[in-house]
Amino acid sequence: MNPRLMLFVLFLFAGSAFPQEWPARPVKFIVSQAPGTSPDITARYLADRLSRLWGQPVIVENRAGGQNVPGSQAAARAPADGYNFFYATTAAIVVNPLTVRALPYDPVRDFVPVAMVAKSPMVVAVNPNVAARSIAELVALDKAQPGRLAAANEGARTFSGMMTQMLNQTARMRLLQVPYNGVAPAIQDTIADRTQVVLVSSAALLPFLKRGELRALAVSSGKRVRGLEDVPTLAETYPGFEYVGWFALLAPAATPAASIQRVNRDMDRVLANPDVAQRLYDLGLVNEGAGTPEALGEFLRAERTRWAKLVKEIDLQPE
């Protein structure tokens, strides 16, 4: 063979055998909630850290509204090229399929797991004027004055709304359900004593708990939360009552395995950084590392079973 031709052939084989190292261009995180929300804040913080590690911009794109549906759909339809990821929430991946009758995306078929980011336990908190310092005392107070205590949440079909209904059923309470358009007004009305109980994420409540504007009675996670060690879990009173919000990184189906493994490894590296761990703690989040894609897949399967049981028990029909 002509030496020049042989050199050209070897060059072609070398190019295919040693593709350009990932990432060769900007990476995108799609967030299905608005700027300034907890998922957005953490996504941007971690994107900045990963950007430094990769030497490429990590762009956060907000596709908010519509019960996380537009953002989830956009993420599902994004190119599966290793440069598009979904910064997913419990609502988008687990709750929506149980409460929305016709979703334009399939969380199981359209995504593959990449990395766990953090968990956000829910907190049952009360206005300081409420004469209850434990769940047992809240139950007793509610039974002594049935229907007098009002619980603020984000609506019957939201994470906090469904959990409040489940708490009512499990504890045989009759807390009046008061839906709000967002976490902030639900918290503010409980501080103002227009509602007496609020059940929302620890990330949202932590600043108000630290200032004494609200008093925590219980957390929804399976174990006690760092920073709220004196606050018992609901499972300590009601075994099996364990529901947490979470953020996880997913990718469109058919995304190259090499990209998934690289992102998983580097996310775990970032989460292990002491400064990052402290920042997530300050935001009220539980950071246990990225785990593996396989472990996240098992977690998502268990979550679907757990939440399907809750939806059935509170008899919530999809719309």
Identify the three-state secondary structure at position 126: strand
Q: Do domains 26-120+244-313 and 121-237 have the same CATH topology?
A: yes
Over residues 108-142, the pLDDT tens digits come to 999 999 999 999 999 999 999 999 999 999 999 99
Over residues 243-289, the pLDDT tens digits come to 999 999 999 999 999 999 999 999 999 999 999 999 999 888 999 99
CATH architecture for the domain at 26-120+244-313: 3-Layer(aba) Sandwich (3.40)
Integer CA distances (angstroms), 223 to 68, 93, 167, 236, 299, in order: 28, 23, 17, 9, 16
The backbone torsions φ and ψ at residue 38, rounded to the nearest 5 degrees and listed phi first, read: -60, -45
DSSP string, 202-226: HHHHHHHHHTTSSEEEEE-SSSPPT
Residue boundaries of the structural domains of the chain: 26-120+244-313, 121-237
CATH no. for 121-237: 3.40.190.10
What's the predicted TM-score (pTM) here?
Answer: 0.87
Judge contact between 63 and 236, C-beta under 8 A: no
Judge contact between 68 and 107, C-beta under 8 A: no
Over residues 186-201, the pLDDT tens digits come to 999 999 999 999 999 8
Over residues 195-244, the pLDDT tens digits come to 999 999 888 898 999 999 999 999 999 899 888 999 999 999 999 999 99
The backbone torsions φ and ψ at residue 195, rounded to the nearest 5 degrees and listed phi first, read: -125, 160
What is the predicted pLDDT for the residue at 174?
94
Residue 159's pLDDT band, with cuts at 50, 70 and 90, is: confident
For residue 99, what are its two tokens?
């409460």
